Copies of this chain bind each other. A is one copy, B any other.
């Protein structure tokens, strides 16, 4: 008998590859949820639900309708430039808790995997280790995600709902919002515009969006894993190296405006995720390496810039 699972935020940047990853598994009955109508790329075996989770009672109706055993909850406010401080973060806390409650109380729900963020950690630590790095978010977004996880874990302890929490680091890939770092630089390079950059020495942990989605899908299915799990590559690189690779792929290294952007003192030199849990407990390894992923991203922008 197939096992019903549900993915929220399914039309988003991470949601789409997450749906595609799970849709390939015959043992699953995949339900996908988005605010709009069913997207063209949706595999025929996936059941689509047009639902705005911010509408009161929408979570309860959705759980009644789909009756999933496990939910991968990706929906959240994610508009670049806005999401760090948007008051919609507050609404998404409420919607997420309502979703968890509807899942646990519907009777069939056993597992919830949420999308957290590396911004929950104290970034002065550099390497972020789930069991050791202090949680000290500095933004409303990070605080909202962290607070949601705390409550979900306490609620799960009382109700038996298993809760896992994928802390997503820096992601990139074809189709990303054009205002995010990698896409904005790739687009400028492709269209012949100067790309202002910082000195580029700060190191970050980048993961291709298909691997982010694959890791979250694997976490959904890793039933013995609970609590926070870094969704990262474990291989931090200098941002400058990422930009250089992009520029070489685009054939326009002359367009990189090194030092045009001055970094705030609060910008940490290193943000990297320890991936011991992801590799050993979830059993996930990325499919993309960074140069290939960046090359694919530049190629995508050639068609879409």
Contact = CB atoms under 8 A, between A and B. Distances in A.
A268 B89 CA distance: 36
Q: In the complex this chain forms, how many copies of it are found?
A: 2
Nearest to A139: B154
Contact of A143 (B87, B90, B150): B150
A158 B138 CA distance: 11
Given A87-B105, A101-B87, A143 B151 contact: yes
Nearest to A55: B56
Interface string A127-171: 000000000010110011011101101110111000000000000
A85 interface: yes
Interface stretch (A18-26, A91-99, A199-207): A91-99
A246 interface: no
B154 A143 contact: yes
30 contacts: A56-B56, A87-B101, A87-B104, A87-B105, A87-B155, A89-B151, A89-B155, A90-B97, A90-B98, A90-B100, A90-B151, A91-B97, A91-B98, A91-B101, A93-B93, A93-B151, A94-B94, A94-B95, A94-B97, A94-B98, A137-B154, A140-B151, A140-B154, A140-B157, A140-B158, A143-B151, A143-B153, A144-B154, A147-B147, A147-B148
